[in-house]
């Protein structure tokens, strides 16, 4: 399930980071991590050096912040089954390197304390993990429970359903196919989709011959969102959590309602559009979407060892245990991953893998031609000032990725339904990924943001 309506985090100086989100997938059963955990009031810090050097360069592009939203509560017909018990607040921290400056250490300490205190005040958030990557290495912190029912503490190395963050991977795979000469961004989708999907779209009042690949990538196709549109999809998912959905069934839900507008006329965040992009990836490669993403985006070369399309691909060797993710009182751990699997979401990943991918993408390491990255990061005129919920500030939507400014830095990111966020600031050589184990909990999602702003400001001021 994607995101759609909560405003994310308020940064300092009136800035905001927000991102469009969605649901994702599942993986291994819960296990207890070997990482030491301690009470929030006295967390033990262990030292581990993990330096990552990725060249920073990014063409100047749009300067607005990132976007999304989500239903305020479960449909009233859904029983509150597995209520999440208040987890014993425990935390674990791994430091980047003993060579970080005292100022950086102080910011890390502030973020750690804020995360711990937030979970004490908001135990329904269940668990929160954060990772910051800088030239000095990786700093990470986790607080709360990965599996509150069984008392398993959370750890920042654990995996989770990454939800709509998957859209960035799907968009990048489409641009890889474009780069390889398979089609262009202006190719109309009637030439790329199967006969049954073309016929379904036409029956629903759409003209596939008028919709381009670029329209789908930038959420400007006019395709109604099947997840949070007037389809009752969320209610059906919660009523039938083990249902195995097909892409066709999900797209068909949107066809029961009129298009939101003509292609290219307006921005409308749409899982329907990304389900169609997933179909194009499969049609053009002859692979499953999981295999195609892995091959086109060069997972092995990038070191994405813990990212896979759940239930489509086998779980990778030595995969970290998967965190339990909640919607209110409902533990969705065992919900069938097909609820959000076919392009709008579906990847299981880790904080480290997501940061690695977003850094590689925005630094030009995913594409062979720099012009391909420039095309992916281009923001159409319709998307330069996208409204998000009741937030009056503008957001900029490119192809499967959103732009924001942090301090004076242009940064890029995406968010997922289950409180997942990834943001990278290429010129500052700083990135952050975080995951809250509760959908739609903006109080928690926003906790690390001011500290990340401080880190970016410090890095750009003195090159730390």
Q: How far apart are CA 383 and CA 388, in angstroms?
A: 12
pLDDT score of 64 more than 60 = no
| Segment among 108-117, 277-286, 403-412 with least mean pLDDT | 403-412
Q: How confident is the model at residue 96 (pLDDT cuts 50, 70, 90)?
A: low
Q: Exposed, middle or buried, 329 (CB in 10 Å: 0-12/13-18/19+)?
A: middle
Confidence at residue 86, expressed as pLDDT on a 0 to 100 scale: 47
Tens-place pLDDT, residues 333-348 = 999 999 999 999 999 9
Q: Model confidence at 435, in pLDDT bands (50, 70, 90)?
A: very high
Q: Print burial letters for 263-292: b (CB count within 10 Å at least 16), e (below 16).
A: bbeebbbbbbbbbbbbbbbbebbeeebbbb
- Rounded to an integer, what distance in angstroms lies between the CA atom of residue 298 and that of residue 280? 19
* pLDDT value at 55 more than 60: no
- pLDDT at position 186 is 98
pLDDT of 24: 34
Quote the CA–CA distance of 157 and 349 in Å, as a whole number: 10
Per the DSSP assignment, residues forming a β-bridge with 133 are 138, 431
Q: Which of 183-197, 204-218, 355-369, 405-419 has the lowest mean pLDDT?
A: 405-419
pLDDT at residue 169, as a whole number: 98
Residues 6 or more apart from 172 whose CB is under 8 A from it? 296, 297, 361, 366, 367, 376, 400
Please tell me the predicted confidence (pLDDT) of residue 88: 53
- pLDDT over 70 at 38, yes or no: no
The structure's pTM equals 0.83
Domain covering 9-421+428-462, topology: Beta-lactamase (3.40.710)
Q: What is the mean pLDDT of the chain?
A: 82
- Residue 99: pLDDT band by 50, 70, 90 thresholds? low
- Token pair of 331 as six digits: 């533990």
Domain ranges of the chain: 9-421+428-462
Percent of the chain past pLDDT 70, that is, above it, reads 77
User: Helix 247-255 crosses helix 195-203 at what angle (to 10 degrees)?
Assistant: 20
Instruction: Provide the pLDDT for residue 51.
Output: 33
pLDDT band at 394 (very low <50, low <70, confident <90, very high): low
SS3 170: helix
Q: What per-residue confidence (pLDDT) applies to 360?
A: 98
Residue 89 banded pLDDT, cuts 50, 70, 90: low
Of the listed ranges 49-63, 131-145, 277-291, 359-373, the least confidently predicted one is 49-63
Percent of the chain with pLDDT over 90: 71
């Amino acid at each position: 399930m994607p995101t759609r309506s909560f405003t994310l985090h308020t940064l300092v100086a009136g800035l905001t980071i927000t991102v469009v989100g969605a649901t994702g997938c599942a993986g291994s059963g819960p296990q207890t991590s070997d990482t030491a955990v301690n009470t929030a009031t006295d967390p033990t810090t262990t030292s581990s050096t993990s330096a990552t050097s990725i060249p920073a360069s990014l063409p100047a592009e749009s300067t607005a912040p990132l976007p999304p939203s989500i239903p305020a509560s479960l449909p009233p017909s859904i029983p509150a089954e597995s209520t999440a018990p208040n987890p014993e607040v425990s935390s674990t921290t791994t430091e980047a390197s003993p060579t970080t400056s005292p100022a950086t250490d102080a910011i890390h300490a502030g973020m750690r304390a804020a995360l711990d205190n937030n979970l004490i005040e908001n135990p329904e958030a269940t668990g929160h993990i954060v990772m910051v990557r800088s030239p000095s290495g990786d700093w990470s912190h986790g607080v709360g429970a990965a599996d509150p029912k069984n008392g398993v503490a959370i750890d920042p190395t654990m995996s989770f359903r990454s939800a709509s963050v998957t859209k960035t991977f799907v968009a990048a795979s489409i641009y890889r196919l474009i780069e390889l000469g398979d089609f262009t961004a202006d190719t109309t989708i009637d030439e790329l989709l199967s006969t049954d999907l073309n016929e379904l779209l036409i029956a629903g009042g759409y003209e596939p011959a008028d919709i381009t690949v670029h329209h789908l990538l930038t959420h400007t196709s006019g395709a109604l969102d099947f997840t949070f549109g007037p389809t009752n999809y969320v209610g059906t998912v919660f009523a039938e959590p083990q249902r195995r959905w097909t892409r066709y069934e999900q797209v068909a839900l949107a066809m029961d309602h009129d298009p939101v507008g003509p292609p290219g006329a307006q921005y409308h965040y749409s899982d329907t559009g990304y389900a169609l992009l997933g179909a194009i990836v499969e049609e053009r490669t002859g692979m499953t979407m999981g295999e195609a993403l892995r091959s086109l985006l060069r997972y092995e070369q990038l070191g994405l060892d813990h990212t896979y399309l759940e239930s489509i691909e086998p779980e990778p060797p030595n995969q970290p245990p998967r965190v339990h993710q909640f919607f209110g009182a409902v533990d969705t751990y065992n919900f069938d991953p097909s609820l959000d699997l076919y392009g709008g979401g579906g990847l299981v990943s880790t904080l480290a893998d997501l940061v690695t991918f977003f850094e590689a993408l925005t630094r030009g390491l995913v594409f062979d031609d720099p012009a391909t990255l420039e095309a992916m990061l281009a923001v159409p005129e319709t998307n330069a000032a996208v409204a998000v919920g009741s937030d009056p500030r503008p957001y900029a939507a490119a192809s499967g990725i959103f732009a924001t400014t942090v301090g004076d830095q242009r940064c890029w990111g995406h968010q997922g339904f289950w409180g997942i966020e990834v943001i990278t600031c290429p010129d500052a050589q700083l990135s952050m990924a975080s995951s809250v184990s509760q959908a739609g909990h903006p109080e928690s999602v926003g906790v690390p943001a001011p500290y990340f702003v401080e880190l970016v400001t410090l890095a750009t001021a003195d090159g730390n």
